Structure 1
Amino acid sequence: MLRAVRRFGGWLRYRCRKAASGPPDAGMSTAEYAIGTVAACAFAAVLYKVVTSSTVSGALSEVLDRALHAV
């Protein structure tokens, strides 16, 4: 009888730990990949527009000219 109670107690502890840990995550789902890809593309488009704007392009050219002509 005591052996069965100990075995049941061990099984119960195992089940409680397993239930408390939650379901295993195998990684992102397809929807998460799609949202991440769209967000990365949107960020790349905004960054491209900023870098190719005349203000930023002029500032980068000025910095490069100063660096190349420094004594």
Structure 2
Amino acid sequence: MFRRWWAELRAVAADDRGMATAEYAVGTLAACALAAVLYKVVTSAGFRAMLRSVLERAINVQF
């Protein structure tokens, strides 16, 4: 009885067609969403001002 149950469980678990495709789709969607958020942050005026400030302070450092 246990062997038959175990064989059926393995057969069901082995049939994962399409799982990799679904995982890639979710991963791609998440990567695109993150890229969109980063693009909006990097192209914002506040980020540019902060980056300019950091670069000016780095250039004007006196030793």
Q: Structure 1-normalised TM-score?
A: 0.60
Q: Separation in 2 of the partners of 1:52 and 1:66?
A: 21
Question: Cα deviation per residue 1:25-58 (whole Å; 9 max; x = unaligned)?
Answer: 8xx5101101110110111111111011000110
Poorly superposed stretches of 4+, deviation over 3 Å? 22-25
User: How many angstroms apart in 1 are the aligned matches of 2:51 and 2:37?
Assistant: 17
- In structure 2, C-alpha distance between the alignment counterparts of 1:61 and 1:41, rounded to whole Å: 27
What amino acid does structure 1 have at the position aligned with 2:60? H
Identity %: 57
Aligned partners of 1:69, 1:48: CA distance in 2, in Å?
29
Equivalent position to 1:62, from 47, 50, 53: 53
User: Is 1:46 paired with 2:37?
Assistant: yes
Q: How many residues align?
A: 51
Gapped regions of structure 2 (runs ≥ 5): none
State the partner residue of 1:30. Answer: 21
